[in-house]
């Protein structure tokens, strides 16, 4: 499930790039726009962040859906393994049948056996593609739901916090080479999301 980390981290990279531009470009027009906003102009940029790894290990909903996906993947692999085993047994059976016929074996018998083997292979490949596509669709839907849940929560959370940006932090991908834990909102995020999820689970 590192896909979630990838999506959120890419968003973080974009936002950090915007910040670099705003603070280091030195464009006079940008300065004029800021000065022209009057008393409503922000005096400083406040940046909060949350740790992706901590979110994944601490968010109960994420852990639940991850467990569900593991079970779904295990069921998929078990079904494919069973199909493969049945195909192998049938192939061995066909080989034994053809050998037992000896001189009585006809070309029609060989063609029939080859067609049966080809059909088994096609059925296996078709089922494999269907299961993998279903798995990918489920993963994408889950990633989107988790991302939207986090985003919606942070919008409400930030109404009283006043951050200009809240970035995701992933040690493996982030451009954040230094972070002040004072602005770490991971704990608040996990606590709030878990309370939200617990309330949702209680609903009939």
User: How confident is the model over 101-142, as pLDDT tens digits?
Assistant: 888 888 888 888 899 999 999 999 999 999 999 999 999 999
Q: Are 76 and 131 in contact (CB under 8 A)?
A: yes
The first and second tokens of residue 46, run together, are 């406040």
Q: What's the distance, CA 26 to chain centroid?
A: 38
- What integer pLDDT is reported at residue 28 of this predicted model? 41
- What integer pLDDT is reported at residue 129 of this predicted model? 97
Cα–Cα distance measured from residue 122 to residue 78, given in angstroms and rounded to the nearest whole number: 18
Cα–Cα distance measured from residue 105 to residue 184, given in angstroms and rounded to the nearest whole number: 76
User: How confident is the model over 66-100, as pLDDT tens digits?
Assistant: 999 999 999 999 999 999 999 999 999 988 888 88
Q: Are 54 and 186 in contact (CB under 8 A)?
A: yes
Question: Among 90, 60, 63, which residue's Cα sits nearest to residue 199?
Answer: 60
User: How confident is the model over 6-65, as pLDDT tens digits?
Assistant: 544 444 444 444 444 434 444 444 443 334 343 444 458 888 888 888 988 999 999 999
Q: Which residue has the tokens 């909903």?
A: 61
Indicate the pTM of the whole model: 0.64
Sorted by where each starts, the structural domains of the chain and their CATH numbers stand as: 2-202 (3.30.910.20)
Q: Are 193 and 59 in contact (CB under 8 A)?
A: yes
Q: Are 49 and 185 in contact (CB under 8 A)?
A: yes
The first and second tokens of residue 25, run together, are 């470009």
- What integer pLDDT is reported at residue 113 of this predicted model? 87
Burial class (CB in 10 A: 0-12, 13-18, 19+), 153: middle
User: How confident is the model over 178-201, as pLDDT tens digits?
Assistant: 556 677 788 899 999 999 989 988
């Amino acid at each position: 499930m590192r896909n979630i980390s990838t999506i959120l981290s890419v968003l973080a990279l974009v936002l950090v790039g915007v910040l670099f531009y705003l603070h280091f470009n030195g464009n006079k027009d940008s300065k004029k726009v800021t000065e022209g906003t009057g008393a409503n102009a922000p005096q400083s940029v406040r940046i909060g962040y949350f740790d992706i790894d901590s979110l994944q290990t601490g968010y109960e909903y994420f852990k639940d859906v991850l467990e569900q996906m593991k079970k779904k993947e295990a069921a998929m692999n078990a079904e494919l393994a069973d199909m493969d085993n049945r195909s192998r047994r049938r192939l061995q059976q066909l080989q034994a049948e053809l050998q037992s016929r000896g001189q009585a074996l006809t070309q029609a018998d060989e063609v029939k056996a080859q067609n049966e083997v080809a059909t088994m292979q096609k059925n296996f490949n078709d089922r494999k593609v269907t299961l993998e596509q279903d798995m990918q669709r489920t993963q994408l839907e889950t990633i989107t739901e988790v991302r939207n849940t986090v985003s919606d929560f942070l919008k409400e959370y930030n109404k009283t916090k006043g951050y200009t940006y809240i970035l995701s932090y992933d040690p493996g991908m982030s451009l954040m080479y230094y972070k002040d834990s004072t602005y770490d909102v991971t704990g608040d995020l996990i606590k709030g999301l878990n309370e939200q999820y617990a309330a949702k689970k209680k609903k009939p």
